[in-house]
């Protein structure tokens, strides 16, 4: 009797053969919506290249304080200062805690030797803080993530070639963080000058074995490779940031107006923000942080620095070697 009563109920309550695997995506989405997201972006470049304006434009909010026009009594910091400012941003019901990390003083001195060291130390300090929380016996249910997920490096629009400082910074830091190089204030160059400058920079990146984001070795499949190849063709990104809107052909468009003309906003990195935000975080966690974690745990166990766990790949081994060049 019990069997005959249960059978119709089971048939009515769920479709025969339906497991419900597709419902996992909705469950994950709801959980992620409740938790929200964290994104930590570092901006590096000398004063006056529009770092704050770009960040404010990218996220359509005052997420970064302008520091390009200091008061006359203010002096350039004697050493690089690391300043962070966090904002809670919400878009279509999705919440994100965005932290912008600025580096005032970088590249502003006559002698910029080893000016990348404070930045390297800051990045590694965030890895260390996360590692200590991770190995804590009574660790938090959700570890606060202060790791730097992406470093936007601003290249002055000289139109000629990379400076030794640019090459050295990206060569060292690309192994410990996702580097996204951008040509600042690209509207100061003609289209021909911009194309030449981009090509020259790509050649110098290859010649110096600088692997910027998105890295080819981390393409997961053919589809990833196709999408990332299109992005790699645009590297370095050309950017024109602006806080001002103008009425053009009945539409309000962000842009920069001059006496003779106006230039529309060019934000090639916006495609990275829209399509690769999670991938940037994944590479930070599974590659950059994992390499740091393996090295630190090996040190704790008395193993030599060059000893890496089997799952660590060649790129991670280079990462570790360069992180010790400080």
Work out the number of other CB atoms within 10 angstroms of the CB of residue 61: 13
Query: Which pLDDT belongs to residue 203?
Result: 96
Do residues 113 and 148 touch, judged by C-beta distance below 8 A?
no
Please write the tens of the pLDDT for every residue from 239-291. Answer: 876 666 655 566 655 555 554 444 444 555 555 766 788 899 999 999 999 99
Q: Residue 242's pLDDT is what? A: 62
53-57, 161-165, 201-205 — which is least confidently predicted?
53-57
Q: Are 115 and 168 in contact (CB under 8 A)?
A: no
Please choose, from the candidates 136, 129, 166, 161, the residue with its C-alpha nearest in 3D space to the C-alpha of residue 151. Answer: 166
What pLDDT does residue 111 have? 75
């Amino acid at each position: 009797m019990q069997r005959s009563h249960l059978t119709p109920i089971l048939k009515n309550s769920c479709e025969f053969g339906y497991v419900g695997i597709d419902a996992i995506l909705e469950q994950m989405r709801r959980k992620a919506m409740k938790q929200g997201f964290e994104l930590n972006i570092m901006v590096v470049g000398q004063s006056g290249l529009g770092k704050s304006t770009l960040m404010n434009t990218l996220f359509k909010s005052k997420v970064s304080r302008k520091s390009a026009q200091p008061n006359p009594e203010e002096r350039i910091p004697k050493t690089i200062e690391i300043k962070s400012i966090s904002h809670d941003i919400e878009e279509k019901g999705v919440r994100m805690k965005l932290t912008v990390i600025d580096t005032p003083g970088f590249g502003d001195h006559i002698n910029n030797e080893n000016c990348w060291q404070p930045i390297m130390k800051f990045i590694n300090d965030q890895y260390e803080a996360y590692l200590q929380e991770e190995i804590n016996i009574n660790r938090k249910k959700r570890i606060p993530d202060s790791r730097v997920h992406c470093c936007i490096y601003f290249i002055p629009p000289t139109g000629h070639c990379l400076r030794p400082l640019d090459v050295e910074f990206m060569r060292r830091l690309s192994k410990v963080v996702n580097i996204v190089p951008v040509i600042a204030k690209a509207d100061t160059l003609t289209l021909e000058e911009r194309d030449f400058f981009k090509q020259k920079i790509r050649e110098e990146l290859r010649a110096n074995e600088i692997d910027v984001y998105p890295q080819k070795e981390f393409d997961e499949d053919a589809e990833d490779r196709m999408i990332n190849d299109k992005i790699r063709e645009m590297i370095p990104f050309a950017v024109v940031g602006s806080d001002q809107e103008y009425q053009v052909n009945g539409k309000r468009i962000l842009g920069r107006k001059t006496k003779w003309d106006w230039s529309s906003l060019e934000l090639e990195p916006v495609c990275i923000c829209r399509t690769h935000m999670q991938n940037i975080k994944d590479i930070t966690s599974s590659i950059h942080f994992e390499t740091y974690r393996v090295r630190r745990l090996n040190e704790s166990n008395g193993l030599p620095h060059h000893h890496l766990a089997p799952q660590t790949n060649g790129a991670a081994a280079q990462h570790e070697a360069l992180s010790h060049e400080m």
